[in-house]
Chain A
Amino acid sequence: MTGLRFGDGNPQYDRQGRLRHLLSIEGLREIDLLQILDTAESFLGIAQRAIKKTPTLRGRTLVNLFFENSTRTRSTFELAAKRLSADVLNIAASQSSATKGESLLDTVDNLMAMQVDGFIVRHPEAGAAHLLARHLGDRALVVNAGDGQHAHPTQALLDVFTIRRLAGPVEQQVVCILGDLLHSRVARALIHALSILGCPEIRVLGPRTLVPPEFASLGVQVHHDPRDALPGASVVYALRLQRERMESHRLPSLDEFHRRFGLTPERLALAAPGALVLHPGPINRGVEIGSAVVDGPQSVILAQVEHGLAVRMAVLSLLAGVGGHED
């Protein structure tokens, strides 16, 4: 992966042990994970009000720094920041100018000269957000909105938030994650978050080329047959098949993948009755998941989107609330 070490040098925490940046679920203490989820519960109701805003981050400026396209993630972070009354600057940096670490830090230094308070960063290279957090230290907060195939912590947080809220205590769930585990930063973060919260059984399902046996080292059961992986699952999580990342030799065809692994109503019927269906989006209908399941009664995919907003509001307000500036 990235060779990044956590623990003593965990750059997510300041010297007083306060969560200062959100970079990955790995290295996140359970107490902080729970505080984010609990705070998000409180933010959920704000979307139902006449005025969907709180003054919490009034006067703060946050920068959406995206070196990679992601309309959905960028727009939910933007909306989350705006609902907290922060000012938001959207910067879509070109991927080519970002391949050297220096250019990322130069960009950030320029923005820091304008007294911004935090960065929400997406970058194609693993470790970019960590680099930024080490560079900035206490001067500004950093939220990792996806770095290569490494981490995407707010996605995992909204996933476990959705499971906890709609399926019940994580300690009682059997979760089956299906699809392209190999290229998925969503899956790794989700597995870590589920493990921290005490999920007793996590299964991963897909062809050997996309679900290598090494995944067993994360404490999950590795399956290559839906008839083994799905029975008893209370949560089925379909991952987006990364067409753009897929090397052609890993799969004969998308149709073939759907025939063997796609989440169809027949396959979903193998899982526990009323099992919840999650997907991080964007969906490839008819590839990793069938349209009838996406739009079916067990799908909570749109609830995930709604929850994503509340979770991101929680993350931003908790990080921004840690006073790093000298008073």
Chain B
Amino acid sequence: MNSRFDVDALLNTLAEQLRPLVDPAATAMIGIFTGGVWVARALHHRLGLVLPLGELDISFYRDDFSRIGLHPEVRASRLPFDVEDRDILLVDDVLYTGRTVRAALNEIFDYGRPRRIRLVVLVDRCSRELPIAADFSALQLRLDSHHEIKLNGPEPLRLEVQARESGS
């Protein structure tokens, strides 16, 4: 357990980084379930974006499906705007290996061809396994593979570092 992270301040930092670079009337935002959706909701509100928030469950696109099967609770992906030619901010809570983002990009392209996608994360663990990097992050944190950082929520949002459970 670790509660020294002020999630609210991190969200404010992210929002300030993004503010000059978004057009509230035209920029779309997509959160990745579950933590990414929480972060996206907070940013969507802070930035006053007009288009409704998109939500993505990447379970059907994971690269480890044949090893671990389907996630027990798959949510429906919902992109309530036309993806075609859209400027999109893709939001997740933690960027670690980059595999989730890879899956999310594939899924988004099944809805249409966006003009641009930028990646926004609350925490960048700086240890990616794919050539996928965050365009914006509020916190850069180097952790060894025996630890995980997890966003708990939705209310209040708490960022916690803990030792990895064995076997996972």
Contacts and interface: CB of A to CB of B under 8 A. Distances in A.
Interface in A64-89: 84
B74 A53 contact: no
Interface residues of A, number: 24
B76 A41 contact: yes
Given A55-B60, A56-B60, A321 B73 contact: no
Contacts of B106: 55
Contacts, number: 56
A318 B75 contact: no
Given A50-B111, A51-B110, A53-B110, A39 B61 contact: no
A56 B67 CA distance: 12
B65 interface: yes
A227 B76 CA distance: 41
Contacts of A327: 67
Contact of B76 (A44, A54, A55, A318): A44
Contact of B69 (A53, A55, A318): A318
Contacts of A54: 60-61, 107, 110
Among A44, A51, A54, residue most surrounded by chain B Cβ atoms (within 10 Å): A54
Contact of B77 (A38, A42, A53): A42
A321 B69 contact: yes
A90 interface: no
Contact of B67 (A44, A45, A49, A323): A323
A322 interface: yes
A50 B112 contact: yes
Given A56-B61, A321-B65, A42 B112 contact: no
B72 interface: yes
Interface string B40-79: 0000000000000000010111000111111011111110
A323 B66 contact: yes
B110 A39 contact: no
A278 B60 CA distance: 30
A320 B61 CA distance: 14
Nearest to A313: B60
Contacts of A51: 109-111
Contact of B65 (A38, A49, A50, A56): A56
Interface in A48-62: 49-51, 53-56
A320 B67 CA distance: 10
Interface string B88-112: 0000000000000000001101111
B111 A49 contact: yes
Contacts of A38: 73-74
Nearest to B74: A42
Nearest to A117: B66
Contacts of A320: 69
A317 interface: yes
Nearest to B76: A42
Among A39, A41, A51, A318, residue most surrounded by chain B Cβ atoms (within 10 Å): A39
Interface of B: 57, 59-61, 65-70, 72-78, 106-107, 109-112
Given A55-B106, A323-B69, 17 more contacts: A35-B72, A38-B74, A39-B74, A42-B57, A42-B77, A43-B60, A44-B76, A45-B78, A51-B111, A54-B60, A56-B60, A56-B61, A56-B70, A84-B60, A317-B70, A318-B70, A321-B65
24 contacts: A38-B74, A41-B76, A42-B57, A42-B60, A42-B75, A42-B76, A42-B77, A44-B76, A45-B76, A45-B78, A53-B110, A54-B61, A54-B107, A54-B110, A56-B60, A56-B61, A84-B60, A317-B60, A317-B70, A321-B69, A321-B70, A323-B67, A323-B68, A323-B69
